Every structure is written in C-alpha cells, then in structure tokens.
Amino acid sequence: MRSCHFMFILGILLCGAVCCGQVYGPADRDNPGDEMIQSYLAHRTEEIELRFMQEIESLEKWQRAREQYKEEYLYMLGLWPMPERTPLCAKITGSLEGDGYVVDMLHYQSVPRLYVTGNLYRPSAVPAGKRLPAVLYVCGHSHRGRDGNKTAYQSHGIWYARHGYICLVLDTLQLGEIGAIHHGTYREGRWWWHSRGYTSAGVECLNGMRGIDYLVSRPDVDPERIAVTGISGGGASTFWIAAADERIKAAVPVSGMADLMSYIPNRVINGHCDCMFLYNTFQWPWTRIAAMVAPRALLFVNSDADPIFPMDANERVINRLERLYSLYGAGDLVDAVVSIGGHSYRQDIRQAAYRFINTHLKDDPQIVLDSEVDLVTGSGSNRRHPIDPQRLRVFPQDSDLPEDELNTTIDEYFVPMARVESPGQGEYASWKQSLLSELRRVVFRSLPERIAAAQLVDGTQSGEARLESEPGIEIILRSAGGVEVDADVKRIVLVVEWSNAAEEDAGWSRELLEQGDRVYVCTPRGTGGLRWTRKNPPNYVERSHVLLGQTADTGRVRDVAAAARYLAGKYKMQTPVYVAGNGAAGVVAAYAALLEPEEIAGVIAEQPPVSHMEPNAPQFLNILRVCDVPDTLGMLAPRALMVKGVKRDLLARTSAAYMAAGSIESLSIRED
C-alpha cells in the first residue's frame, strides 16, 4: 500500500493542473467558436471536480448525503425508479466439460425481451449443499462477432472455476450475440438519447445487477460472497454495478475510470463510446461514482501508458478514494495497482485481480502463481482459444436467435417517456408548477433560478454587439430592421439564429411581424459566426456537455433568455420583448420564455418540431422523462404564443393547457 498522505497531497496539486495532464489528440481550432467553448467546458469541469474534497470533509457529512446520492446515481443511469425485477426466464441452452470445470451456455431477460447472453463457469465437482463464492465478469470492447465478446475472456472464467468459484461472464449489449448499439451519440446521431435520459451504461448496469439476481438464485452460490470485475468497458461496468448493488463485496475495475478533468479538458472522452458514461444530471464530481462502493473492498487497476485512462486521472481518483476509505477506518480495503504498459491485461494485472478477490471472498491472500494458464493468445486468424468460441455460443445458429428480442431497439424502451395529462379547469397553476419544478430539478439544473441579463462586451456602429451571456460565453446581437424611432416601437422581436446566415434567420419571420416591431437577431453559442467544430465521431463538444449536466442547447436557451433580458433593460421594460425562431430555434425560444417569464412577453415559432424525438429538435437532458414540446408550449400561458406550420391536432395538449388557463385567445395556431 502506498502512502495515503502523499497521494492525497499529490491529488490536490494535480486537480487544477489541466496542462499537466495527458491529452487525447490536438484541440480543434478550425472554427471561430472552438477556443471559447473549450475554455468554457474546462472552467465548468474544474468547478464540479473541486467539490469532491468538500463532500468528504467528514464521514458524517458524506453519510448524510449518501442516500440522496444513491437515488441521483440511479436516475443518471436511467434506472430510477428501478425497473421491476421481472422473472429472469433463465435458460441453459448447452454445456461443455473441460479440465476441472464445466461451462453452461445461458441467457436471461433483465427486462422482458432484453436478452443477456453469458457463459457460466463452475467447478467440475461441487459437494452437495456447498455454496461457493461467485464472480460476475463483465466484458470489455473485444470484437468477436456472432460469438459474443464473452468468448475473448474465457480464460478468466476457467481460472475462477478451477479455483472454486462460480463465474458468470456476460456479453455486452453491443458486442454480444445479439448485436445492438453502444455508440448512439458517439457516431449514430441519436441525439434523442440525451432527451430520453438513455445511456447504454444503464443497460450494462441493469444487466449486471440481474446477473447477480441469477447467481444468488443458484443453490451453489454463497450470496454473501460476490465480486465483480472486468477491463475497459468492463472496468466501467464494474463501477456501475458495484456502486448500484451492495451485494457486491469486492470490486476490481481494470482500466475503467478517469475523471472529468481528463475526459473534458484533455479530451479523453474522444477515446470512449457512450457506454462509458452516465449523463451527469446532478453535476457529480466523477470520483463520487467510485466512492459509492466504499467501504466495500475495491482494487483500482490501471496501466501507466494507457491513453484512454491516463495516469494523471488515475492518481487523482485513487488518492480521493483513499481519503474517503480512511474516514471509514477501512483504508486496508482500497488499493491500487499500476502495471507497466498500454491498455491490456498483463500477468501482474491478472495476478493482482485474482489475489484481491481470493483475499476478500475466500480469506486467502497468498500470491497467485498460476495466472498464465489457458490464455487467449495471438490475433486475427492466428488467435488461439482454450475453447473454440463457437462452442460457447448461447444461440448456436442464427435461427436460434429470439425473434421477440428488444436488444436492437432497447434505446426506445429502456427509459420510459413521461405521459403528461392535460390540466382540467382550475388545475392549470398546479399543473404548470409541478412540471416546471421537475424541469428545473432534472433538465435545467445547470441554469440559475433567474438568468441574468447579458452584459455588453463590445458594440459597433453597424448595429452588431457582442454580449456575455454567462462567464466565458459571448453571443452576438444584431439589429435586423423594423421601426427605427424608439417612440414608435410597439414590440421587440428577438429572432434566434440557427443557420450560418443571420439574414436567413431574420427573413423567415417577416410575414409574422406586425407594424411597430423592431427586430434583433441573436446568435447563440455554436451557431453562425460562433460555430464550433463538429466531427462525427466523436462529437466532442456535444458529448462533453452532458458530462457537466447540460447540453449545448441548454446553453443556447440561456443565451436567448440573457439577450432578451438585455433588450428589456435597454428599453427599460416599457416595450414587450417577444422571442422567435424557425424550426429548432423556435423551441429554444419557447424554453427561454418558459424560464424567463418576467421579461419575455410572447413566443413566435414557425415549423417547430413537436417532439424532442424528432431528428431536428433541440435536445435537453431528461426532458422526455418530464414532458414534450406541446406541454412546454402549454406552460407559456397566458402569454401570447403564435405557432405556424404545424397541424392543429399535434398541438392538442397545448390548446388544452391554454384553455385550462383561461387564455385560449392568446394562442394562435396557423397550419399553413
């Protein structure tokens, strides 16, 4: 065990030293908004990560918050409230016998029709009535095609079975026998995952927890002695499962966690798919995830030259964990191993993992001398396996694959969408308050209760000004015509730019304007002359935002609200300010109005998407777990709302809300 005091001090010194960390590729500098947004993300990351040491000032402080943390944690995985523990419908489809072990090919359903395929390794002979310790082995990103990635890790299952364990090796969602998707926002453009609050990490966590359900249901498993381990994606899943399920007595994540300082300012997020991350709704310092395992036994394993789990992050995480474990008086239950080399297993890693699990599940701390037996070796066509991978298939033939599987579409079902009932007469105020409260709790938590007016940074004679909407973010505000004499201005119309041409964004709304309007165009972050680089994959900026508890569109809502307040101040609140936009911009305008009810008098939206599931819709974390676009528009009552280019029946809930508010005359829906 290293000196805890030394590592604690080292971690403090490293926390703010972004420049000293190991970066993952060069920073984007191809577009005008790149440097601004990257600096902003880095600053927000530092603010969040610094909180952890404050949280563990005392054990009492940590313990008081821990129950709330558990609920927040599960919510951020899409698992709160927890899905019903439905029957597993476990089935063994075949078995084979090896030298000192037996392998069962099995599957179970973690929720109905979500099939989990795995191989169960067990000793050849187990005395009747004897209960053995068990290991849940969760796999990393090893591509094995139709055989499933479980076959790449068979040597671990064999070792555990030969040493008196029951070991369940699970396929992952994407790389299992029924291939689904991990990379929804990394490369597949499924941005509605953010709005649904769906992350493939949540599926991997639930599949593992249900795997434990299966293990403890077996008469040969001791439910008091269960461990979880895995490398890379399996290392991350080890954290997900151990933090969520206290039946885990020992956890050995191998190369499975960095921290926000590494993922965001140093761009290590670009080396990871979506299963490596939860959506950080509650703005957690990342080490808090690992801390949820405390004070149970935890071995934190990494490699010194791993590009996607760098050593600077490794040192920060382990020193914080050692500090927390020391508060529990359990410093002997947490340790770290650093191997020399890149991102892979080596002998010292296997020996350390086996020995740690032996120590805490069998009270056997002896050095492991036989870790290098029956390894999978070679690569490509030269790869050699102890067991032919096809023999480990749970579904031997393609025709055996279940036709009713939800694996390939589980992202559409895993996190339920909210079903909002329209308010009745006299119910509007409480209906709106309930929805708005939940929106602020889990969707717009990163925004202040009251969005401050933008501050003038620089103005020009051409009518274009730069405003600061929040520290580190500048937006552009441009006068776009209309009434020129202040005395004649009846309305200020703030048009939200969404393309790269401000003239186009201002032009669409001309027929919706009224005599006496003065028009301004707001260019929020990431659009027009403030656009940042977007590469698919890895979609760095958009994915980094969700690790900070927001989305890029959340920031744009703030920009629009701040610009509206700036204009309200400029005109001394004597002239009503309306916000307007075409397509997605119209929805962003509506949310800005919802969150800024005092200075925004009305909304004009042309052809807005009517659901956040639509591909052109703005995305906000968890929004579809609370409400959808028609409900949001309904919450604008009694203020003026004009919607053009949408069929009236698609906005029935909007109309019902305005009717319940007694302000149906303030709503105008034009289908043409």
| pLDDT of 509 | 61
Burial (CB < 10 A; 0-12, 13-18, 19+), residue 209, is buried
**Residue 13 predicted with pLDDT over 80:** no
Which residues, in sequence order, are CB contacts of 536 under 8 Å at separation 6+? 187, 189
Tokens of 140: 């990393």
Write down the number of H helices and E strands in the chain.
Answer: 19, 18
* pLDDT exceeds 80 at position 614: yes
* Residue range 348-391, pLDDT digits in tens: 999 999 999 999 999 999 999 999 999 999 988 899 999 999 99
Residue 504, pLDDT > 70, answer: no
Say how many CA atoms lie within 13 Å of 472 toward its Cβ. Answer: 12
Task: Identify which has the larger pLDDT, 9 or 124.
Answer: 124
**Which are the contacts of 494, defined by CB distance < 8 A and separation ≥ 6?**
520, 521, 522, 560, 563, 564, 567, 577, 578, 579, 580, 589
The confidence score (pLDDT) of residue 20 equals 64
pLDDT at res. 494: 96
Give the pLDDT score at 204.
98
In percent, the amount of the chain with pLDDT more than 90 equals 90
The predicted model gives 505-521 an average pLDDT of: 79
Residue 573: its pLDDT value, please?
A: 76
Check: pTM over 0.85? Answer yes or no: yes
Helix, strand, or coil (residue 133): strand
At 343, the pLDDT band (50, 70, 90 cuts) reads very high
Q: What is the DSSP letter of 401?
A: S
Q: Could you check whether 59-412 and 428-670 share the same CATH topology?
A: yes
Which region among 63-72, 227-236, 494-503, 513-522 has the lowest average model confidence (pLDDT)?
Answer: 494-503
Give pLDDT, residue 485: 75
Token pair for 660: 């319940």
Band of residue 19 on the pLDDT scale cut at 50, 70, 90? very low
Stretch 21-48: mean pLDDT: 97
3-state secondary structure of 230: strand
Average pLDDT in the chain: 94
pLDDT at 6 over 50: no
Mean pLDDT, residues 489-508: 73
Q: Which two tokens stand for residue 202?
A: 């949540």
Cβ atoms < 10 Å from Cβ of 504: 12
Q: Contacts from 32-38 at CB under 8 Å and sequence distance 24+? A: 32/529, 32/530, 32/531, 33/525, 33/526, 33/530, 33/531, 33/532, 34/532, 34/533, 36/472, 36/473, 36/474, 36/525, 36/530, 36/532, 37/525, 37/526, 37/532, 37/541, 38/265, 38/541
pLDDT band at 461 (very low <50, low <70, confident <90, very high): low
Q: In angstroms, rounded to a whole number, what is the distance separating the alpha carbons of residues 73 and 244?
A: 8
491-496 and 221-231 beta bridge pairing = unpaired
pLDDT of residue 380: 87
Q: What integer pLDDT is reported at residue 481 of this predicted model?
A: 81
The CATH code belonging to domain 59-412 is: 3.40.50.1820
With a CB cutoff of 8 Å and minimum separation 6, the contacts of 638 are 658, 661, 662, 663, 666
Reported as a single tens digit per residue, the pLDDT across 381-417 is 899 999 999 999 999 999 999 999 999 999 999 999 9
CATH, domain range 428-670: 3.40.50.1820
Task: Enter the tokens of residue 630.
Answer: 């028609």
If pLDDT is split at 50, 70 and 90, which confidence band does 501 have? very low
pLDDT band at 571 (very low <50, low <70, confident <90, very high): confident
Residue 318: burial class (beta carbons within 10 Å; 0-12, 13-18, 19+): buried
The full set of domain ranges for the chain reads 59-412, 428-670
Does residue 4 register a pLDDT over 90?
A: no
Residue 256 above 70 pLDDT? yes
Q: Write down the pLDDT at residue 3.
A: 38
